[in-house]
Amino acid sequence: MYVGLIGLGIMGKPMAKNLLKAGYSLYVNDLNNEAVEEIVAAGAKAASKKEIGEKCDLVLTMLPNSPQVKDVMLGDDGVATHMKPGSTFIDMSSINPVASQEIAAVLSEKGIDMLDAPVSGGEPKAIDGTLSFMVGGKQEVFDRFKPVLETMGSSVVRCGEIGAGNTTKLANQIIVALNLAACSEAFTLTKMANVDPRLVFDAIRGGLAGSTVMDAKMPMILERNFKPGFKIDLHIKDLDNAIDCAHEIGAPVPLTVQVQEMMQNLHFDGRGQDDHSGISNYYAKISGTTIG
């Protein structure tokens, strides 16, 4: 099987390496030539969007947002223009589920199948191939390409038809964002009450308040290590999509809107490229107290 991957950023680059380790013939494309050269050195072939569309049975994208996915696939001389009927497109980006449905409808007219398959886990899990995939699309297409996704993830779950993957990812991103804000708020309280946040973390992590988010991000907050595994600006994008989707269907998301405002404040403070655990800096700003 010939596989094309467009998008070699923080997530796409290690995902490409795992595809190569699994033995897939991989063609890659990205605006960043250094990223392309790194993956070519690992065994892939550099290709234009046209070449990927013509040569590949499966096209994957890992791009920032809906406009980029639409442009790459459906824009002037987009990949879909060159794909063969019977080929498949899997978008691993986190985008608005409505956009996924719109892209799938256009591709269906060309005889091209599609899955939306956003991921959770950040850069560390992209590197070790243990991402969680949330997938939307036809059952038979999912069954056919599940082994490909399993080379990059330890959990691959079909959540429903097209758009269901990104709807699930939006729910995931809401929970992560609110959890980060809750941790930041709670540990600011303990610090201001002169109780050591490290001891509080050790005491509560095994109880009901414990979570994967807390385990992964509180050590970073305590060390004030905001090297991005997942950037604040990217989380803002995901929450924008969640809020837009919620407004379209009438779902109430008041807490999401509140945390989005915190992240926007950090963005305008020049912290948008920090890890999303940097939401703790919003609390440091308004309280005058640093957790770490």
Q: Is 237 tagged catalytic?
A: no
Question: Which among 125, 169, 191, 231 is annotated as catalytic?
Answer: 169
The CATH number of 2-162 is: 3.40.50.720
Query: Phi, psi (5° rounding) for residue 204?
Result: -105, -15
What are the tens digits of pLDDT across the range 160-196? 999 999 999 999 999 999 999 999 999 999 999 999 9
* Span 36-91, pLDDT tens digits: 999 999 999 999 999 999 999 999 999 999 999 999 999 999 999 999 999 999 99
Q: Write the CA distances from 267 to 93, 164, 177, 231, 260, integer angstroms.
A: 22, 29, 15, 10, 10
- The C-alpha angle with vertex 108 and arms to 114 and 138, in degrees rounded to 5, equals 45
C-alpha–C-alpha distance, residues 206 and 198, integer Å: 14
pLDDT at 122 over 90: no
Question: What average pLDDT does this structure show over 130-139?
Answer: 98
- Sequence ranges of the chain with CATH classification 3.40.50.720: 2-162
Task: Specify the pLDDT at position 109.
Answer: 97
Characterize 250-260 residue by residue with b for buried, 16 or more Cβ atoms within 10 angstroms of its Cβ, and e for exposed.
eeebeebeebb
Distance of CA 103 to the CA centre of its chain: 18
- Residues forming CATH 1.10.1040.10 domain(s) in the chain: 167-287
- Reading the block at residue 180, the tokens are 């980060």
- Which pLDDT does position 229 carry in this prediction? 82
pLDDT at 151 over 90: yes
| Most distant CA pair in the chain, distance | 65
- Mean of per-residue pLDDT scores for the chain: 97
Does the domain made of 167-287 have the CATH classification 3.20.20.70?
Answer: no
pLDDT at 121 exceeding the cut of 90: no
pLDDT at 29: 98
Residue that is written with structure tokens 């998301």 in the block: 253
Position 251, amino acid: A
Extract the tokens encoding 67. Answer: 């406009």
